[in-house]
A = this chain, B = another copy of it.
């Protein structure tokens, strides 16, 4: 039965010879697997990657969430301290001056704290290296400590200077009644909404929607892509929310399709937004995708904008996904 619907949906989509390449090739999807995850990453497994690379490690440390980053920093500090403490303790525990321990356990603890004092270069000095071996290790440890905090400086700056823009997308892409003098032949449009989740301003915002669907070519199912023409492709300032609208004119590949049709071809709407972050003057790219399961038919968005008592325009970020029946 899926097969039958597939054929029907397919027959209704207008073909375009010069369909653009999105970069996924023509591999079809199956089992309702989406091609692009909600966070904009590709839903692809990569084999044969190098097991370890210092750049991938840096990449991971810059993109992981803050709580995870903090745990890593603490863990690296703790294990670095322990590593050097074991070296002092194992090779030359009596090469340090100023120790006051009474038990073997206290001895290790004093060595551990000496290690911490060397790694952070606080170097109080009550505990200090006397023997040749311990002096050498301490010289290495304090250099490693400084380089470690140099790295942390770069990582912190990298995390902050990178993660400056965040868009909220509406949970659904909706098909709503539409009436616009510029598109007289469209009585429906497909649309979603975005809003800036941060305080920084976004300018020169551009949007792109690609419609991905399965097609049968010579007996095998291939993935096709068509760009959907937007009512407005670019705005100057994302001060309010922005509703990105594709009017379903007769030329649209979506014209005449029903929810069953787009289900049958495993439709996915791949969304790319490009903007400039005004605070750091940085180009910002976000992507997301809506599968046919996230399409709502015959509804319309509720307004997120109102005026407060002073007459100042007010926008409510929490309503970004709210919609109501369209009749």
Contacts and interface: CB of A to CB of B under 8 A. Distances in A.
A325 to B, nearest CB: 22
Interface string A53-68: 1111011101100100
Nearest to A201: B41
B278 A281 contact: no
27 contacts: A20-B236, A23-B238, A23-B240, A24-B240, A27-B240, A27-B305, A43-B312, A44-B314, A44-B315, A46-B315, A49-B199, A49-B317, A55-B160, A56-B198, A59-B199, A59-B200, A98-B126, A113-B136, A113-B139, A117-B138, A122-B142, A146-B152, A147-B152, A203-B285, A208-B236, A237-B287, A281-B285
B130 A123 contact: no
A127 to B, nearest CB: 8
Interface in A173-227: 181-182, 197-201, 203, 205, 208, 210
Contact of A128 (B29, B120, B125): B125
Closest 8 CB pairs of A and B: A125-B125, A42-B239, A154-B157, A48-B318, A48-B317, A122-B123, A23-B235, A116-B139
Interface stretch (A6-14, A161-169, A291-299): A161-169
B147 A150 contact: no
A279 interface: yes
Interface in A88-137: 97-98, 100, 109-110, 113, 116-118, 120-130, 132, 135-136
A283 interface: yes
Contacts of A280: 158, 162
A316 B239 CA distance: 35
B154 A160 contact: yes
A72 to B, nearest CB: 12
Interface residues of A, number: 129
Contacts of A143: 77, 116, 120
Given A22-B235, A30-B307, A139 B117 contact: yes
A242 interface: yes
A209 B147 CA distance: 43
A109 B124 contact: no
A46 B317 contact: yes
